[in-house]
Amino acid sequence: MKITEKDQLNEIFEQAFINDDEYIAVLVQFDNRDKPEIIINHKSNFHYKLNYYNSVYDFVLDHKHANNVRITDACSGNSLSEIEYVLTEKEIRGEQ
């Protein structure tokens, strides 16, 4: 399922901390693009990126300073192929 609120994004980060995952992928959608950007964050940057996302995106994950930019999904994993699998499965199920 897509994420729609900042609490959901925070939960994904929290689970990544608990599971000691290597990566978090964050999907950022721009209104003028067909597909979202996939941003990959290494665990060494999790705290910094979580603080950044919490300060720059509002409660419903719209960017506070850039119109038509929003976070639409995120997941974590221990390899890039695992993240690719999770995102691909979501797309196949129509969750993206």
pLDDT at 1: 58
pLDDT at 88: 78
pLDDT at 89: 77
Q: Are 71 and 9 in contact (CB under 8 A)?
A: yes
| Three-state secondary structure call for residue 56 | helix
Three-state SS string over 10-67 comes to HHHHHHHHHHCCCEEEEEEEECCCCCCEEEEEEHHHHHHHHHHHHHHECCCCEECCCC
Which pLDDT tens digits describe the chain residue by residue (96 residues)?
A: 589 999 999 999 999 999 999 999 999 999 989 888 999 999 999 999 999 999 999 999 999 999 999 999 999 999 999 998 888 777 656 665
pLDDT at 87: 80
Tokens read off for 19: 């599971």
